Amino acid sequence: MTLDVPAHRAAGKPAGRIRQKNEEAIIAAAEDEFARHGFKGTSMNTIAQKVGLPKANLHYYFSNKLGLYVAVLSNILELWDGTFNALSVDDDPAEALSRYIRAKMEFSRRNPQASRIFAMEVISGGEHLSAHFSQDYRAWFSGRAQVFEGWIAAGKMDPVDPVNLIFLLWGSTQHYADFATQICRVTGRAKLTRQDFEAASDNLIRIILKGCGLTPPA
């Protein structure tokens, strides 16, 4: 489940480990800028300065801002979707959902900027996600819902609507990245710590699993 990322590599450009290291640095810098200023407010020149490369060198890796932006979105979605792909009808739903919630919360802790970029893109209409939200993606989403339906049919969990449950899983875990500022101001924290995320994970697991008729793992 990936986006169609415009080609940004060509013959004669840095190869191997140097290229990989530079691309990772560029994407990390781009995530920070896109999260702060959005797609329209971000410039390739600013990203180049942030990563310490001449602007001309930046174009060796990503030919234009759109290509870099879509690469950032693709990286985010591959990480999210890859975690969800691990769910199987043969799994114990309590164990599988607990692992998934913790994985998503850890992503929110480690990659808050990435989560915010995705949220901003969707809120603004998702123009650059059109290729991702295709028939193939809908088929993939349906397949994920069928895992829950299989658990319900086998009597492993209460009959809840799988689609709404998936949205709840996504929204609740991403909230701790997208709205961290609100959470900190309400709770009086300077920032959310690892312990805060672990405690929030425990509570989400307890609330969501009990709502599905499941007993949280010890």
Assign 15 a pLDDT band (cuts: 50, 70, 90): low
195/102 same-domain check: yes
63/101 same-domain check: no
- Per the model's pLDDT, the better-predicted residue between 208 and 73 turns out to be 208
94/65 same-domain check: no
Residue corresponding to tokens 């001309």: 56
50/129 same-domain check: no
**Integer Cα distance of 102 and 80 in angstroms:** 12
**What pLDDT, on a 0 to 100 scale, did the predictor assign at position 78?**
83
| CATH code of the domain containing 187 | 1.10.357.10
106/204 same-domain check: yes
Assign 1 a pLDDT band (cuts: 50, 70, 90): very low
**Integer Cα distance of 31 and 112 in angstroms:** 10
Average pLDDT over the chain reads: 89
**Integer Cα distance of 216 and 193 in angstroms:** 23
190/109 same-domain check: yes
139/176 same-domain check: yes
142/190 same-domain check: yes
How many domains, the chain? Answer: 2
| CATH code of the domain containing 40 | 1.10.10.60
111/188 same-domain check: yes
Q: Letter for the amino acid at 151?
A: W
Whose CA is closest to 5, among 135, 134, 136, 131?
131
Domain that holds residue 20: 16-69
pLDDT per position as a tens digit, 123-163: 999 888 888 888 888 999 999 999 999 999 999 999 999 99
Assign 5 a pLDDT band (cuts: 50, 70, 90): very low
User: What is the 3-class SS of the chain, one letter each residue?
Assistant: CCCCCCCCCCCCCCCHHHHHHHHHHHHHHHHHHHHHHCCCCCCHHHHHHHHCCCHHHHHHHCCCHHHHHHHHHHHHHHHHHHHHCCCCCCCCHHHHHHHHHHHHHHHHHHCHHHHHHHHHHHHCCCHHHCCCCCHHHHHHHHHHHHHHHHHHHCCCCCCCCHHHHHHHHHHHHHHHHHCHHHHHHHHCCCCCCHHHHHHHHHHHHHHHHHHCCCCCCC
112/195 same-domain check: yes
pLDDT per position as a tens digit, 33-71: 998 888 989 999 999 999 998 988 898 899 899 999 988
169/198 same-domain check: yes
129/180 same-domain check: yes
